[in-house]
Chains A and B, each alone.
Chain A
Amino acid sequence: MENRTLNFSIFRYNPATPDIKPRMQDYQLDETPNMTVFIALNRLREEQDPSLIFDFVCRAAICGSCAMLINGRPRLACKTLTIDLPENITLMPLPVFKLVGDLSVDTGVWFRHMGMRTESWIHADQKFNPKAQEERMDNPTALDIYEAERCIECGCCIAACATANIREDFLGAAGINRIARFLIDPRDKRTPSQVFEVVGTDEGVFGCIGLMACDVLCPMEIPLQTQLALVRRKMMGAAIARR
Chain B
Amino acid sequence: MKWQDAHITEVLVIGAGLAGERVAVEAASHGHECTILSLVPPRRSHSTAAQGGMQASLANVAMGYGDNTDLHFEDTVKGSDWGCEQDVARRFVNLAPIAVRQLAAWGVPWTRVKAGKKILPDGREIEDLPEKEGLIAQRAFGGTAKWRTCYAADGTGHVLQYAMDSMVLKLGVTVHDRLEAVVLIHDGEKCYGAVARCLRTGEFRAYLAKATVIATGGYGRIYGTSTNAVINEGSGMAIALATGVVPLGNMEAVQFHPTGIVPTNILVTEGCRGDGGFLLDKNLHRFMPDYEPVKKELASRDVVSRRMMYHINQGFGVESPYGPHLWLDIRHLGREHLCTNLREVSTICSNFLGIDCAESLIPVVPTQHYSMGGVRTNIDGDAYGLKGLFAAGESACWDMHGFNRLGGNSLAETLVMGMVVGDRVADYVKEAVVDFPPTLVSDFVKQQEQRVKDLLASKGSEYVYDLRKQMEETLSNKVGIFRNEGDLKAAVEKLSELYGRCQQLRLRSNGLGPNPEVGAALRLPGMLRLALCIADGALQRTESRGSHYREDYPKRDDANWLKRTLAYWRPGAQMPELNYEPVTIIELPPGDRGYGEASGATQLGD
Are A and B direct contacts in the complex by CB distance below 8 Å?
A: yes
The residue from A58, A100, A121 contacting B229, defined by CB atoms under 8 A apart: A58
One digit per residue, 1 when the CB lies within 8 angstroms of any chain A CB and 0 when it does not, for chain B 101-132 equals 11011110111111000000000000000000
Which one of B166, B264, B520 lies within 8 Å of A39 (CB-CB)? B264
Evaluate contact between B512 and A16: CB separation under 8 angstroms.
yes
* Bound-complex Cα distance A59 to B321 (A): 19
Interface residue? B48 (CB, 8 A):
yes
**Is B98 part of the binding interface, using a Cβ–Cβ cutoff of 8 Å?**
yes
Distance in angstroms from A238 CB to nearest chain B CB is 22
Contact indicator A53/B352 (Cβ below 8 Å): no
Interface check B490, CB cutoff 8 A: no
B169 CB → nearest A CB, Å: 5
Query: Is A50 a contact of B44 with CB atoms below 8 Å?
Result: no
With a cutoff of 8 Å between Cβ atoms, the chain A residues found around residue B159 in the complex are: 146, 149
Q: Counting CB contacts under 8 A, is A120 at the interface? A: yes
Cα(A101)–Cα(B170), bound, Å: 31
Q: Is the CB of A128 within 8 A of B105?
A: yes
Q: What's the Cα separation between A51 and B202 when bound, in Å?
A: 13
A7 to B273, CA, bound (A): 40
Total number of A residues with any Cβ neighbor in B under 8 Å: 71
A63 to B41, CA, bound (A): 10
| Contact B107–A139 (Cβ < 8 Å) | no
Residues on A with C-beta less than 8 A from B437 are none
* Inter-subunit contact B321/A33 (CB<8 Å): yes
**CB-CB < 8 A to A58: which residues of B?**
44, 46, 48-49, 229-230
Whether A15 sits at the interface, judged by CB under 8 Å, is yes
- A177 within 8 Å of B (CB atoms): no
**A129-181 at interface with B (beta carbon < 8 Å):** 130, 132-139, 142-143, 145-146, 149-150, 152-153
B43 contacts A153, C-beta separation under 8 Å: yes
Query: A227 at the A/B interface (Cβ < 8 Å)?
Result: no
Instruction: Out of B48, B98, B102, B469, name the residue touching A62 (CB < 8 Å).
Output: B48
Q: List 16 A-B contacts (CB under 8 A).
A: A17-B512, A33-B321, A39-B263, A45-B516, A50-B464, A51-B510, A57-B230, A60-B352, A63-B43, A81-B352, A107-B41, A108-B44, A112-B169, A130-B98, A138-B134, A143-B153
Interfacial residues, chain B to chain A (CB-CB below 8 A): 40-41, 43-46, 48-49, 98, 100-102, 104-107, 109-114, 133-137, 152-153, 155, 158-159, 162, 165-167, 169-170, 175, 177-178, 200-202, 229-231, 262-264, 266, 320-322, 348, 351-354, 363, 464-465, 469, 507-517, 520
**Sample of 16 further A-B pairs with CB below 8 A, known A57-B44, A63-B48, A106-B200:** A15-B514, A16-B201, A17-B512, A51-B509, A58-B46, A63-B40, A63-B49, A121-B106, A121-B170, A128-B105, A134-B104, A139-B111, A139-B137, A146-B159, A187-B105, A188-B107
